[in-house]
Amino acid sequence: MTYVLFNSLANNHKGEENSRKALEGKISSDSVFEDLTKIVDLKKYLEEKSIEDKVILTGGDGTLNHFVNEIGNLDIKCEIDYCPSGSGNDFYTDVANFEDSRAVRINEFIKDLPIVTVKGKDYRFINGVGFGIDGYCCEKGDEIQRASTKNVNYASIAIKGMLMFYKSTTATVTVDDNKPVTIKKAWLAPTMKGKYYGGGMKVTPLQDRNSSDKKVSCMVMHGYSRLKTLIIFSKIFKGEHVKYKKNVSIFSGNTIKVEFNSPRSLQIDGETILGVTSYIVHTK
């Protein structure tokens, strides 16, 4: 039996509609559609599935994040597929050809994910942890969504923030057992499991989510000039920002701690946490 899980709260409550559209003509007519938000115990739900069953998860990166945090390191017997139908699909961009919009098996991708500790609480993540102006954009986007049903223009929020409203900080990055590195005028300092976040931003072009050493990458963008930083930031969609070595620093390791000298918003696969001064990512 094929079971399709959708997030009814996604895409302005169009989660089921978008799920059915994404899978139209691709699954059997007797497939069962179920609302992920109505499943009380997701672990138990999956444990009850047999090896012959298939579960297709639909939605975006936020739905994926909810899914992996609910199941933890559960040993799943059945096949788990993912079909993008949300507003943010960076995971799919990283692992498949998004133009195909075909379901991809994710059983191996959701095992042994990195964990980020924020304010004493642990979260698994599938793409990345954003800290700085990326977290600021999520914070402002959430405010807009609470007040309106209009689509959020994150690019506009980022540009205005970079030029006027967002203030850079001093960042301290500690990788594994190495000495801390302090970077002034830091604008963002995400740590990535994959290459992409933020709707196609190629933050860490060389990061490999399938690497055997399970290392993650932290990218710090820094600079005294708002305008120059904005120009460099605009290169991030193609991953060309890394060419600006004086303004972009890349760190790689299994444990990465990032500290800011004043609180900023943080996002985990697009989910916002306010008033954060530090986070720690560990992969083992």
- 105, amino acid identity: R
Q: How far apart are CA 82 and CA 253, in angstroms?
A: 28
Residue 59: closest CA among 100, 111, 5, 139: 5
User: pLDDT digit string (tens) for 238-280?
Assistant: 999 999 999 999 999 999 999 999 999 999 998 999 999 999 9
pTM recorded for the entire structure: 0.91
CATH topology assigned to domain 115-282 = Tumour Suppressor Smad4 (2.60.200)
Q: pLDDT value at position 85?
A: 84
Show me where the domains of the chain are located: 2-105, 115-282
pLDDT at 9: 79
Q: What is the pLDDT of residue 97?
A: 59
177: Cβ contacts below 8 Å, ≥ 6 apart: none
Which pLDDT score is estimated for 98?
53
Q: What is the CA radius of gyration of the chain?
A: 19
Rounded Cα distance between 191 and 211, Å, is 15
| C-beta of residue 20 within 8 angstroms of C-beta of residue 33 | yes
Read off the pLDDT of residues 116-131 as tens digits, 9 standing for 90 and up.
999 999 999 999 999 9
pLDDT (tens digit, 9 = 90+) per residue, 179-234?
999 999 999 999 999 999 988 899 999 999 999 999 999 999 999 999 999 999 99
CA dist., res. 82 & res. 43, Å (int) = 17
Q: Number of C-alpha atoms within 13 angstroms, CB side, residue 94? A: 31
* 13 or 24, higher pLDDT: 24
What fold, for 2-105? Rossmann fold (3.40.50)
Name the residue among 126, 127, 258, 254 with its Cα closest to residue 196: 127
